[in-house]
């Protein structure tokens, strides 16, 4: 029996664990020297190097069954980097679909946006999308995300169209504020228009928010604190608390500057950035709407209150360790999505069990659970999810 059984469950967050050289065939030759493995894989020198030789047309994990599928993590997981193994991993997981993201480029694409080489930034974005689409072509249940930088208005419009034409099912943008303009700038209207016309969502993912905290916060006179992976260069408890700030700020700008009002069918996903912040953020935006309404014409023109735009157009993935039941009860049944983070360690070994326990404690009824596991994802993905997959068990 698959890990997920008994109901249709869509997974809003899954990843490829890239191996060195994964961009070689997708990045234009003139840019390859600027995007080396040393840049993409900076941690623990040699940690990933052996995978270049081990990477085969077919994976090695034939011994993995439904009892092992959630226990193996990162590069040891089934289908983590060998595309031919990924269909079996979905079979064993039991998910109707998985929205797929990179691992190696979650941070690097954001770093590029702060640099001066604009051509390189958009070139890496194109290569990222080609890589994602190619990997996911092995199984239609895999839904590739494509990256769209927010540096230059005209190039972003072209990148959005190209990303859609290449076959991406979601457009990934950074939550970090671009240099020199807001993400809500009217110059990005062609991006929102292209996504809405295609029926595809705009998504934010952890890693795209830039530097979360100043380095000084970690100069406390004490030894370094290990992260989930045993090092000291990923999220720890203090910088974890700041994960929500970039998407919170970006979405507030998009809502207040009426992007969601002007593009009412455009959906936004906030992936792997928690959701405990969402109920308070919704209420705080409504409070700001009340406080500044008399003086801001943009607020007067809004057709809905800020929290109502969230319920209509924003979908967010709680972490398994969060009180998802409380979040659903206070944000509304329309907002939250299930995600596994497969095959990352952070996703845990049994997210369904933890989500179920939380929802049971909060008295979340079957209708809202159905939305959490299935319907909200279907609503988010729009045309990116074919009709037969929406109800496929």
What is residue 325's three-state secondary structure? helix
DSSP letter (8 states) at residue 211:
-
As a whole number of angstroms, the distance between CA 42 and CA 206 comes to: 18
Q: Which helix (H) or strand (E) holds 171?
A: strand 170-172
Q: What is the DSSP string of 265-317?
A: T--EEEESS-STTHHHHHHHHHHHHHHHTTT-HHHHH-SS-HHHHHHHHEEE-
- The CA-based angle 223-227-322, given to 5 degrees, is 125
CB neighbours of 182 closer than 8 A, spacing ≥ 6? 253, 257
pLDDT tens sequence for the chain (393 residues): 899 999 999 999 999 999 988 998 999 999 988 887 666 665 544 445 555 445 444 445 557 877 889 999 999 999 999 999 999 999 999 999 999 999 999 987 777 777 779 999 999 999 999 999 999 999 999 999 999 999 999 999 999 999 999 999 999 999 999 999 999 999 999 999 999 999 999 999 999 998 888 889 888 898 888 766 554 556 788 888 999 999 999 999 999 999 999 999 999 999 999 999 999 999 999 999 999 999 999 999 999 999 999 999 999 999 999 999 999 999 999 999 999 999 999 899 999 999 999 999 999 999 999 999 999 999 999 999 998 898 754
* Domain 10-390 in CATH 3.20.20.140: yes
Structure tokens of 319? 């972490």
Tokens representing 104 are 């190696």
Beta bridge partners, 172, equal 147, 203
pLDDT tens for each residue of 104-118: 999 877 777 777 799
Q: Cα(359)–Cα(164) distance, rounded to whole angstroms?
A: 36
Angle between helices 245-256 and 306-313 (to 10 degrees): 110
Could you tell me the CA-to-CA distances from 342 to 11, 297, 345 in Å, in that order? 9, 44, 8
The per-residue pLDDT for range 72-82, each reduced to its tens digit, is 999 999 999 99
Domain residue extents for the chain: 10-390
| Angle subtended at Cα 248 by Cα 290 and Cα 192, rounded to the nearest 5 degrees | 95
Look up residue 31 and give its two tokens: 């840019």
Buried b (16+ CB within 10 A) or exposed e, 27-59: beeebeeebebeebbeeeeeebeebeeebeeeb
Distance, CA of 217 to CA of 239 (rounded, Å) = 9
């Amino acid at each position: 029996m698959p890990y997920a059984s008994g109901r249709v469950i869509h997974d809003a967050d899954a990843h490829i664990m890239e191996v060195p050289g994964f961009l070689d065939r997708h990045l234009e030759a003139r840019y390859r020297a600027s995007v080396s493995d040393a840049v993409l894989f900076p941690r623990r020198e040699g940690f990933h190097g052996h995978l270049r030789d081990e990477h085969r047309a077919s994976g090695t994990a034939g011994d993995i069954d439904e009892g092992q599928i959630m226990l193996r993590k990162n590069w040891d997981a089934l289908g983590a980097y060998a595309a031919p193994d990924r269909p079996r991993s979905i079979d064993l997981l039991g998910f109707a679909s998985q929205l797929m993201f990179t691992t190696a480029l979650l941070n690097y694409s954001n770093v590029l946006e702060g640099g001066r080489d604009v051509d390189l930034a958009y070139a890496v974005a194109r290569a990222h999308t080609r890589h994602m689409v190619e990997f996911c072509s092995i199984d239609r249940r895999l839904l590739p995300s494509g990256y769209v930088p927010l540096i230059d208005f005209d190039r972003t419009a072209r990148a959005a169209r190209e990303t859609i034409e290449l076959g991406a099912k979601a457009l990934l943008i950074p939550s970090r504020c671009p240099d020199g303009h807001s993400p809500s700038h009217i110059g990005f209207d062609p991006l929102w228009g292209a996504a809405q016309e295609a029926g595809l969502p705009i998504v934010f993912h952890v890693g795209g928010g830039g530097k979360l905290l100043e380095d000084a916060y970690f100069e406390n006179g004490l030894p370094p604190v290990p992260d989930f992976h045993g090092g000291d260069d990923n999220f720890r408890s203090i910088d974890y608390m700041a994960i929500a700030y970039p998407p919170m700020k970006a979405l507030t700008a998009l809502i207040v500057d009426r992007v969601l009002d002007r593009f009412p069918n455009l959906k936004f996903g906030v992936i792997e950035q928690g959701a405990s912040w969402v109920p308070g953020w919704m209420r705080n935006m409504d409070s700001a709407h009340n406080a500044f309404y008399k003086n801001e014409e943009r607020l007067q023109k809004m057709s809905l209150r800020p929290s109502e735009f969230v319920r209509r157009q924003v979908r967010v993935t709680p972490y398994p360790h969060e009180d998802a039941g409380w979040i659903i009860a206070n944000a509304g049944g329309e907002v939250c999505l299930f995600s596994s983070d497969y095959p990352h360690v952070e996703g845990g070994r049994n997210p369904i069990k933890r989500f179920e326990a939380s929802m049971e404690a909060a008295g979340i009824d079957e209708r809202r659970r159905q939305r959490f596991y299935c319907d909200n994802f279907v609503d988010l993905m729009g045309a990116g999810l074919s009709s037969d997959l929406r109800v496929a068990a």
